[in-house]
Structure 1
Amino acid sequence: MRNTISALIGVGACFLTSVAFAQNLDWQIFSEPFITTAHAQNIDWQKIDEILGRKAAVSDDVHRYGFARSDLAVTLDGVAIKPAFALGGWVAFKPAHGGVMAMGDLVLLETEINPVMAKMIAGGLEITAVHNHLLRASPATFYMHVAGHGDPAKIAATIRDALAESKTPLTSASPASPPPAIDLDTAQLDSLIGIKGQANGAIYQFTVKRLDPITEGGMLLTPVGAMGVATAINFQPTGGGKAAITGDFVLTDGEVNPVILALRTHGIEVTALHSHMLNEEPRLFFMHFWANDDAFKLAKGLRAALDKTASAKI
């Protein structure tokens, strides 16, 4: 009898503990996928397309809009920079509670920074960074990171009105003639970098995911490529097996100097180191780079730098 009473007391204690645990659970963890899906279905994406004057590239629940500075003729060390190589501004919309989370990276001339910033602020968007990516480019380009939460149509209208203060093309360009073949052994580059790249016009691009989850304001930033939190590596052929490279590594604090050392050891210039966001977890740093040399040599240097990071390798 005593054993029976003890067992009943134990069951009751477990039940009460389970109730208390359930009350303390953050049920948002379980409901988030369903809430996000519902919000994605409720958003009039065609309206957002119309406001921004272009169709989005859709990855999972993220709609990403490109704002390439095809109007600019930028050169660096004698290389004519193609828009997809280093002039590709963008804004991504991800469904969130009460609307969307928006974040982006806009390419601006020096004289455009303050007029665009004023419109962003007036429309309720946050400026999270302004900086260079390249050195010695002519004309010099700067990159403004923006963020916002709320009504997607209002955010889109603010972005459109802000970009109207620059010479950023606000309508999609007519389809151009097919891009030239990429004058590089892309299969060998894939092997050296350790993941499969993808052609974007005349540019060969790699998107390298980190192994650790990244959140902003408590929200998981996925897919990481579309949300701008994956290491980006771009190759632009410059002839004779050579390529210009640029992009940015996504790093935690302990990875910064090992990656700098790996890049510099392999003849790759570090051109910028800075933040892009304000309250992400873990705290991230973005390191931009540049070189124009034998493509395979540079790929080996980039792989050596990636090996200093918690990055995926296939």
Structure 2
Amino acid sequence: MRILKWLAASLVAVSLSTAARSQDIDWQKVDDAMGRKATVTGDVHRYGFPRTDLSVTLDGVAIKPALALGGWVAFKPAHGGVMAMGDLVLLETEINPVMLKLIEGGLEITAVHNHVLRASPATFYMHVGGHGDPAKMAAVIRDALLASKTPLTAPAAGSPPPIDLDTAQLDQIIGATGQNNGGVYQFAVPRRDPISEGGMQIAPVGPMGVAQAIGFQPTGSGKAAITGDFVLTANEVNPVIRALRSNGIEVTALHSHMLDEQPRLFFCHFWANDDAIKLARGLRAALDKAAVALN
């Protein structure tokens, strides 16, 4: 009982300490450095950098930015400043110029890879990390993005286009509640167990990029293009791959996004364009092979 009380008190202390650190940060300076307002979830400030300048097609589908072109950077208060994590969407010619600027500014490159196949033009994803002063890191990130054609003016706010799918049925099959993001119906399904990076718990998991991410983009007549990634431990990788492939869902990449997370995680990306309900059932079969939190 004493141990339980000590654990509860420790968790409260950590929560209060994190809240205090967040209040100490001048987030307006970070917003100014980024050139846009953050989306705030809990103590995480997330900045979106969608590649609205690109016209990317895949198997005849014009990809919406929210489906597979949504670059982002998130800051979470930590001892001595913030933990930064992000995923920048780049063309092949932009990779090295952006990377050089990030390295010069003291940020870490944690992965560079594809997420999808056959896209035209081909897009690549540079995962970044860092720890320290958020305004300084924000300035480095913005300066690095100047070496690409990533739009640095925040997109105009507006109502997203309607989702021409049976979203209630999708929610029921997946076992979570999705949301309309720019005309893409998105799910963020957390793992059951906590994830830490550098000894610090990564939460909330969705804004920090460590939830199972699933997006449905309507393609007409009840069909949808789907992509995203499963966040998996080593023993879950091949059961999930087999579940996806047996349901007609292509596996397009398997890799890491971070360097010293616990437990060790692998990100399994996928793609299909078919009947949305059929694909949802295939995705649910794959989710059932992983330790995730579903309704």
Q: TM-score range by the shorter chain?
A: over 0.9
1:241 aligns with 2:222: yes
Q: CA deviation at 1:30?
A: 6.0
- Can you list the C-alpha shifts for 1:196-216, whole angstroms capped at 9, x where unaligned? 111112110011010010000
| Residue 220 (structure 1) aligned to one of 178, 181, 201 | 201
Count of matched residue positions in the alignment of Structure 1 and Structure 2:
290
- 2:89 maps to 107
CA distance in structure 2 between the aligned counterparts of 1:174 and 1:279, rounded to whole angstroms: 37
Cα pair 1:106 1:145 within 8 Å, conserved = yes
| Residue 168 (structure 1) aligned to one of 135, 139, 150 | 150
Cα pair 1:65 1:90 within 8 Å, conserved = yes
Give the secondary-structure state (helix, strand or coil) at the position aligned to 1:272.
strand
Q: How does 1:265-280 map to 2 (within 5 A)?
A: 265-280=246-261
Structure 1 218/28 Cα, relative in aligned 2: closer, same or farther at 3 Å? farther
| Residue 152 (structure 1) aligned to one of 129, 134, 137 | 134
What CA RMSD, in Å, does the superposition of the two structures yield over aligned residues?
1.5
Q: How does 1:19-30 map to 2 (within 5 A)?
A: none
Give the secondary-structure state (helix, strand or coil) at the position aligned to 2:131.
strand
**Structure 2 regions of 5+ residues with no counterpart?**
none
- 2:284 maps to 303
Q: How does 1:77-96 map to 2 (within 5 A)?
A: 77-96=59-78
The AA in structure 2 aligned to 1:149 is H
**Structure 1 regions of 5+ residues with no counterpart?**
1-17
Cα pair 2:50 2:69 within 8 Å, conserved = yes
- 1:286 maps to 267
- Can you list the C-alpha shifts for 1:101-155, whole angstroms capped at 9, x where unaligned? 0000000000000000000000000000000001000000000000000011110
- 1:50 maps to 32
Cα pair 1:35 1:97 within 8 Å, conserved = no
1:75 aligns with 2:57: yes
Q: CA deviation at 1:307?
A: 0.2
- Can you list the C-alpha shifts for 1:227-283, whole angstroms capped at 9, x where unaligned? 111000000000000000000000000000000000000000000000000000000
1:201 aligns with 2:182: yes
The AA in structure 2 aligned to 1:219 is M
CA distance in structure 1 between the aligned counterparts of 2:147 and 2:10, rounded to whole angstroms: 40
CA distance in structure 1 between the aligned counterparts of 2:209 and 2:61, rounded to whole angstroms: 25
| Residue 171 (structure 2) aligned to one of 179, 186, 190 | 190
CA distance in structure 1 between the aligned counterparts of 2:11 and 2:260, rounded to whole angstroms: 19
The AA in structure 2 aligned to 1:283 is R
CA distance in structure 2 between the aligned counterparts of 1:261 and 1:144, rounded to whole angstroms: 27
Q: CA deviation at 1:34?
A: 2.3
What is the percent sequence identity of the aligned residues?
Answer: 74
Cα pair 2:160 2:180 within 8 Å, conserved = no
Give the secondary-structure state (helix, strand or coil) at the position aligned to 2:204.
coil
CA distance in structure 1 between the aligned counterparts of 2:256 and 2:59, rounded to whole angstroms: 26
Q: CA deviation at 1:179?
A: 3.1
Cα pair 2:87 2:126 within 8 Å, conserved = yes
Give the secondary-structure state (helix, strand or coil) at the position aligned to 2:230.
strand
Cα pair 2:215 2:226 within 8 Å, conserved = yes
- 1:132 maps to 114
- When normalised by structure 2's length, the TM-score is 0.96
- 1:250 maps to 231
- 1:38 maps to 20
- 2:42 maps to 60
CA distance in structure 2 between the aligned counterparts of 1:28 and 1:159, rounded to whole angstroms: 34
Q: CA deviation at 1:187?
A: 0.3
- When normalised by structure 1's length, the TM-score is 0.90
Q: CA deviation at 1:181?
A: 1.3
Q: CA deviation at 1:29?
A: 6.1
